[in-house]
Amino acid sequence: MKVEKAAEWVAPQALVPWPDNPRSNDGAVEEVAKSIAAFGFGAPIVARRANREIIAGHTRHLAALRLRLVKVPVRYLDVSAEDAHRLALSDNKTGELATWDVEQLSALLGELGADLPGFDASLLEQLAAAPAAGRDVEEVEDVEEPVDASFVSEPGRTYQLGRHSLTFGSSLGVTDEAELLLFDPPFDVEYSAWRPASKTVVVVVWRRCDSAFRWVADRVDEGFGTHELVFTGGLRGQHNHTLPACMHENVTVLRKHWWSEKFEALDRETLALSGVRVVADGRHSSWQERSGGVLEAQSIGMAWAKPIPQMMIAMAYGPRGCAVFDPCAGSGSGLIAAERSGRTWRGYEIQGPWVDLIRRRWTKECAAAGQDPGPDQLSSPAVAAAEPGARRPRASRLARASARAVGSDP
C-alpha cells in the first residue's frame, strides 16, 4: 500500500497566497516568526496542488519569508478551487471556537515562562476578562499580514511602467508570446510548471536544481540549441576576485534558430552597454566585472538581486526590440536591463514587497534618465539616486530606435 507524504519541503517563494483571503491582523507575522525561529514548524502550510495557492498557513508563509527560510513544509491537497477556498474559511473560523482556561494557562506560563511568542501581560488581562463576557480569543496562526508595512501594491493588478508591464500575481498558467524568455524560478521549484510559448525563440534559464536539467533537456528535444554561460565574481553579485576560475552560477541560453558563427548570436551594442570588458581576441569573458550586486541586494533588504550587467548579457541574446517575458521577476533587474537595451519587458511577481521594489527601481531609473515614469511609479526617499551596475546612457540610439518601433520615445 502506497503511503502518502504528510508534507513536502519546498521553497516558500513557490507558494501563492490566496489574493481574496479575508483575514488580517496586525502584528501576527512577527510573533509567528519568533515561534518558528524558536521551535520550528509545528504544522505544515496547506496548499492546493494544482496552482500552489495557500489554503491554510498564510502567516506561517509570510513569517518564513521574513526569516528568509530556504524551505518550508507544505501539505498539498488535490481539491478544486472552490473547495480550497471553503476549507480556508472554515479552517480560520474553527480556530476561533476554542476558549482558554485562564487559571490553567496562568499556571503553565508560571512553569514554562511567560516569554513565549504571542503572550504578554496585556493578553493575560484580556483573557481574564473574556470568560465573563463569553468572549473568545482569536488564534492568529493563519492571518495574512504583509511582510513590510510599505507593501502598497495591489494583488492582481497590472502596472504599466512606460512600455513595460508588471503584474502582481502568479505566472503559472500564463502564456506570453514574447520572443525572449528570462526563466529563473525560485530555488527548488519544479521547472516543468512553465513552458516557452510558440513564438519564443530564445530562453535564458538559470539552472538551480535537478528539474532544471530535465527542463533544458526537454527543450533540446523540441529543437532548441544550447549555449552555456558561466558567471563568477561580480556578475554573480559576489566580489571575490581571489578565485577567478571558481564557477558561481550556470546559465543556459536556448535558441530555436542556431547560428553558423557564434558571434552572430550576440547584439554587440547591448553588450557594450552592459559594461563588461572585452579581452584581446574580442570575447566578452571578463565575468569578474564589479557590478554591485550584493550591495544592491542588501540595500533593498533582499538576500539576492541579479546584477544588471548579467541581465544585459541575457538581453543581448534576444533580437533587438523584442518582447521579453520574465515570469519570476524577483528584484526587477530584467526590467532595468530591458529598458536600457530597447526591449519591452513583461514581468510577473507574487511577493508584494518585491512588486513595490520593482516599481521603485523603475522610478529611480526614469529619474536618472530624465524621463517620465508614468502614473504607476512608486517613489522612495532615494528616488533620485542612480542605480548601481551598468553604464546608463540617457537614451541610446538603440533604445530610441526600439522605442519608436513600439510607439513611444524614451
All domains in the chain, ordered by first residue: 8-96 (3.90.1530.10), 158-405 (3.40.50.150)
Is the model's pTM score more than 0.75?
A: no
Of residues 176 and 306, more confidence is placed in 176
Residue-level pLDDT at 245: 43
Residue-level pLDDT at 218: 92
Of residues 93 and 82, more confidence is placed in 82
Distance CA 248, CA 236 (A): 7
Based on DSSP, count helices (H) and strands (E) in the chain, helices before strands. Answer: 12, 12
Q: What is the mean pLDDT of residues 272-300?
A: 53
Does residue 317 sit in helix, strand or coil?
A: coil
Distance CA 401, CA 320 (A): 10
Of residues 173 and 231, more confidence is placed in 173
pLDDT tens readout for residues 179-219: 999 999 876 678 888 999 999 999 999 887 788 889 999 99
Identify each DSSP E strand in 243-336 by its residue range.
249-255, 323-326
pLDDT tens readout for residues 73-82: 999 999 999 9
Residue-level pLDDT at 404: 38
Instruction: Find which of 120-129, 141-150, 319-328 is predicted with most confidence, using mean pLDDT.
Output: 319-328
Q: What is the mean pLDDT of residues 209-233?
A: 84
Buried b or exposed e, range 100-110, using 16+ CB within 10 angstroms = bebeeeeeeee
Residue-level pLDDT at 301: 55
